Amino acid sequence: MKRIPPDDIDMLQHKVLSFYREHGRVYPWRKTTDRYAVMVSEIMLQQTQADRVVGKYLAWMERYPDPASLAASSLKEVLCLWSGLGYNARGERLQRAADIILRDFDGQVPGDPELLMTLPGIGPYTSRSIPVFADNMDIAAVDTNIRRILIVELGLDESTGPKQLMDVARAVLPAGRSREWHNALMDYGALVLTARRTGIRPVTRQSRFEGSRRWYRSRILRDLLEHDGGMTTEEISARYADCPYDLDGLLDELEKDRLIEQEALPDDGGVMVRVRA
DNA sequence: CTCCCGTCTT
DNA sequence: AAGACGGGAG
């Protein structure tokens, strides 16, 4: 791995932490050390601008203050509260995670990244960011912001892989200040070294939304959330006659994502589609 | 148009 | 390794 000169580390730490003291953003999830609350915020923040999460997060924590209340809820209500955040499967996975936490972890969100990784919706980044922000654990978590900062400030190649980035991130982490450091990096990346300003492209990108598959998916799901009894595939087909994609295949995908269920009606009455019970 | 405190599936 | 996945702000 590439060696980082100690002076460069000092410089970076000072620059980022100074900026944070001066211009750091204030968010509700930064005021708590409750692991469940941090988990909720981290899942919501995946691929989602922080400012757009605030209201949803507050409403969510009001309705689901702990894993037990979340696990006991209907999926429909979960998705209604999630609506507007995007990537609806995240909401379903979060509820499924709450279920597992209740069953296997005595209702307490685990603090070990290895255990967190086993929960649905929690991957390499989030499994580390939760202990970082909730427990101030001295480990590195690399998201798109932090990746960009390391590349720009330390002169790394843009093709640097996730493993090497982790090594570098660990090398520049100020011991004992993990939470502050990661918050500072987030803000420095979001407010100073933006993607636009640096020209560093994120690892993952997405295609145009309007008229896309996921655009129709989201509209269908929203319709189903409004129709308590569900809708038949007939009704859906009629409503989305303009959809260029195969609606049945689209519904199958929604079902695979555990968001909806399809039931064949008796006497060849078609297929009823509804939000999964 | 790009991108956002990524994860899951194939 | 590549593609799918929401929705809105900049």
Can you give the residue ranges of every domain in chain A? Answer: 6-198, 213-275
CATH topology of domain A6-198: Endonuclease III; domain 1 (1.10.340)
Mean pLDDT per 10-residue interval, chain A, length 277 residues: 84 96 94 96 93 94 97 96 94 96 97 96 95 97 94 92 93 96 95 91 85 93 92 93 92 95 91 94
Q: What are the Cα distances from residue A56, in Å, to A78, A127, A180?
A: 11, 21, 24
Cα A82 to Cα A87: distance, rounded to the nearest angstrom:
9
- Closest nucleotide to A91, Cα to C1': C6
Paired tokens of A194: 């933006």
Q: What is the length of chain A?
A: 277
CB A149 within 8 Å of CB A195: no
User: Which nucleotides on strand C sit less than 7 A from a protein beta carbon?
Assistant: 3-10
Per-residue confidence (pLDDT) for residue A249, from 0 to 100: 92
Predicted local confidence at residue A113, as pLDDT:
96
- Residues of A with a catalytic annotation lie at 42
**pLDDT on residue A96:** 96
Report the protein residue whose CA lies nearest the C1' of nucleotide B1.
A208
Whole-angstrom Cα distance, residue A57 to residue A85?
10
- CA of A161: nucleotide with nearest C1': C1
**CATH for the A213-275 domain, from 1.25.40, 1.10.3470, 1.10.10, 3.30.1330:** 1.10.10
Nearest residue for C8, CA–C1' = A52
Tell which residue, A74, A114, A115, has the closest CA to residue A95. A74
Model pLDDT, residue A201: 87
Q: Is the CB of A253 under 7 A from strand C?
A: yes
- Residues with Cβ within 8 Å of A159's Cβ and at least 6 positions away in sequence, in order, are none
- Distance, Å, A256 CA → B9 C1': 11
Closest nucleotide to A125 by C1' from CA: B6
Q: How far is CA A266 from the centre of its chain?
A: 40
Nucleotide nearest to A218 in CA–C1' terms: C6
A52 CA to C6 C1' in angstroms comes to 12
Bases along strand B below 7 A from a protein CB: 1-8, 10
Those residues with Cβ within 8 angstroms of residue A73's Cβ, 6 or more apart along the chain or in another chain: A63, A64, A95
- Strand C closer than 7 Å to the CB of A212? yes
CB contact at 8 A, A95 and A66: no
Tokens 């500072």 -> residue: A184
Cβ-contact A225, A88 below 8 angstroms: no
